[in-house]
Amino acid sequence: MNDTLWQLEPATAAKHRLYKRYLDGYWAKMLQPNGAGNSWPKVTYVDAFAGPGRYLGGEEGSPVFVLRRLLDHTARGRMGLRPNRVQLVFIEKRRDRYKHLVKELGAKFGDLSALPVRVEVVHGEAAAETARALDHLQAWGNPVLAIFDSWGNVNVPLTLLERIAANRGSEAIVTFGPNWFNRREDQNAEQLDDVFGGREYWQRADRESSTDERWRAWLSTYRDALGRAGFEFQLQFEVVPHTGQPLYLVHGTKHVAGVEVMKDAMWTVDPEAGTLFRDPRTRGAESVGQLDLFGSGGGVHPELRELIVQRLDDGAITVEQLRDWLVRETARWLGKHANAAVKTMCDEGAVHVEPTGQISKRSVIRLR
Ligand SMILES: C[S@@+](CC[C@H](N)C(=O)[O-])C[C@H]1O[C@@H](n2cnc3c(N)ncnc32)[C@H](O)[C@@H]1O
């Protein structure tokens, strides 16, 4: 069977829409000088499960659209593209797909060595080749964005993520297919120990028997692992396409700006395509797709409401603490959403705010 290329699944298309938005924001932030005029000397992007660069229907694979959008970026003139500053690495294990990717990139971009960025296409195993490429490109010490986009047999050792997280300004994105959470028998325990950093960290998730809870348990176990690896901020969410199977994504970053760029991307993904992003913390069947602070029936968006109630169930907090919690702990909500939601929930009588009157960051909120 020739399966070098395959059909683009709706969940992958949804993920691609998210990546496109996210990377547009990422490059703009990482490559342009900041307000003080400083910029990173080097930024390295790794797509460790790169694929063949194209789908059966002719759609672009991630290496192709990532490179194309970087070269066509509206801020390109201010981004200081130079081969020794901006480096992209694409790794693919299957020789046929690797060859296809090389051909595809050549057809789309011509001689890669003539581009204003450095592009390395590598044939081999994701984890080993990521470390080797980062050595060879002298990427350590500067920001690395590594994407581990496997079909579910995630076998990227946590030690590699730790090395990446030790770099300033670095980020990692790891995706999981739905089957990953159901079939543990085909993964050996030693491999899971490597992925999660020790048996004590994953055994509890493995004991979860309810199908609906398994993905939540494993996803948050992986999210915690990224935290232990040194990514101070972690997001986890389910990408629910219009039709077909969902997929799951965990994002780890060293900076709150990374969280903001990812959340902004979720908020701006084209609603027409029907992509939904679901926070694993919420149980509701409520579609949390088109993002609007206020749900269709008016009032606070049901997902945001459910999350705030969950948090307040643990006790009273200040508005500032709620803002911080929304940024760090929820998939899509930003600090700026706290005030308006608290005000509406207070007007409705769902929460009590002290002192009464103007809501400030020091106001204390509790459930009524
Ligand atoms: C989900 S696909 C990648 C899709 C691609 N990132 C995109 O979005 O267009 C996963 C790819 O990883 C490759 N692969 C599987 N195991 C690998 C490994 N251990 N190291 C590197 N590549 C691997 C597969 O052959 C497949 O092409």
Res. 183: pLDDT tops 80 = no
Q: Domain end: 211, 246, 278, which one? A: 278
Res. 290: pLDDT tops 60 = no
Centroid of ligand 1 to alpha carbon of 156 (angstroms): 12
Q: Domain end: 278, 313, 348, which one? A: 278
Q: Is residue 4 part of a domain?
A: no
Question: What CA–CA distance (Å, rounded) separates 82 from 320?
Answer: 41
Asked whether 62 lines ligand 1 (CB < 6 A), one says: yes
Q: Domain end: 278, 312, 337, which one? A: 278
Is there a single domain that holds both residue 187 and residue 318?
no
- Per the listing, tokens 């699944």 go with 9
Band of pLDDT at residue 284, cut at 50, 70 and 90? low
User: pLDDT (tens digit, 9 = 90+) per residue, 191-216?
Assistant: 899 999 999 999 888 888 887 788 89
Is there a single domain that holds both residue 239 and residue 332?
no
Beta-strand ranges (E) seen in the chain are: 43-47, 86-92, 118-123, 144-148, 171-176, 233-240, 247-253, 276-278, 317-318, 351-354, 364-367
pLDDT for res 154? 73
- Beta carbons of 288 and 303 less than 8 angstroms apart: yes
Asked whether 191 lines ligand 1 (CB < 6 A), one says: no
pLDDT for res 223? 96
Centroid of ligand 1 to alpha carbon of 49 (angstroms): 3
Q: Is the pTM of this model over 0.85?
A: yes
State the closest ligand 1 atom to the C-alpha of 55, by its place in the atom list counted from 1: 9
Is there a single domain that holds both residue 212 and residue 307?
no
Is there a single domain that holds both residue 256 and residue 326?
no
Pick from 332, 161, 177: nearest CA to 248:
177
Q: Is residue 289 part of a domain?
A: no
Asked whether 99 lines ligand 1 (CB < 6 A), one says: no
User: pLDDT (tens digit, 9 = 90+) per residue, 100-148?
Assistant: 999 999 999 999 999 999 999 999 999 999 999 999 999 999 999 999 9
- Count how many domains the chain has: 2
**Residue span of the structural domain in which 226 resides:** 10-278
Band of pLDDT at residue 288, cut at 50, 70 and 90? very low
What six digits make up the tokens of 219? 């996803």
Q: Is residue 285 part of a domain?
A: no
Is there a single domain that holds both residue 18 and residue 149?
yes
Sheet hosting strand 233-240, strand order edge to edge = 118-123, 86-92, 43-47, 144-148, 171-176, 247-253, 233-240, 276-278
CA distances, 127 to each of 41, 132, 134, 154, 211 (Å)? 25, 9, 11, 10, 29
Is there a single domain that holds both residue 39 and residue 139?
yes
Q: Is residue 293 part of a domain?
A: no
Band of pLDDT at residue 294, cut at 50, 70 and 90? low
Pick from 52, 82, 58, 56: nearest CA to 70:
82
State the closest ligand 1 atom to the C-alpha of 52, by its place in the atom list counted from 1: 27
Centroid of ligand 1 to alpha carbon of 357 (angstroms): 55
pLDDT for res 155? 81
Q: How many CB atoms lie within 10 A of CB 272?
A: 8
Is there a single domain that holds both residue 264 and residue 348?
no
pLDDT for res 187? 67
Question: What CA–CA distance (Å, rounded) separates 106 from 117?
Answer: 14
State the closest ligand 1 atom to the C-alpha of 126, by its place in the atom list counted from 1: 20
Q: Is residue 213 part of a domain?
A: yes
Is there a single domain that holds both residue 185 and residue 306?
no
Centroid of ligand 1 to alpha carbon of 124 (angstroms): 10
Q: Please give the average per-residue pLDDT across 226-252, as a whole number.
A: 94
Pick from 134, 172, 147: nearest CA to 42:
134
CATH of the domain at 97: 3.40.50.150
Is there a single domain that holds both residue 124 and residue 168?
yes
pLDDT for res 286? 43
Centroid of ligand 1 to alpha carbon of 125 (angstroms): 10
Q: Is residue 228 part of a domain?
A: yes
Q: Is residue 58 part of a domain?
A: yes
Asked whether 9 lines ligand 1 (CB < 6 A), one says: no
Residue of 49, 99, 123 to mutate, ligand 1, most atoms within 8 A of C-beta: 49
Q: Count Cα atoms within 13 angstroms, Cβ side, for 211.
A: 4
Asked whether 343 lines ligand 1 (CB < 6 A), one says: no
Centroid of ligand 1 to alpha carbon of 150 (angstroms): 5
Is there a single domain that holds both residue 192 and residue 257?
yes
Q: Is residue 2 part of a domain?
A: no
pLDDT for res 291? 47
Is there a single domain that holds both residue 60 and residue 98?
yes
Centroid of ligand 1 to alpha carbon of 11 (angstroms): 15
Is there a single domain that holds both residue 234 and residue 272?
yes
Residue of 92, 104, 121, 145 to mutate, ligand 1, most atoms within 8 A of C-beta: 92
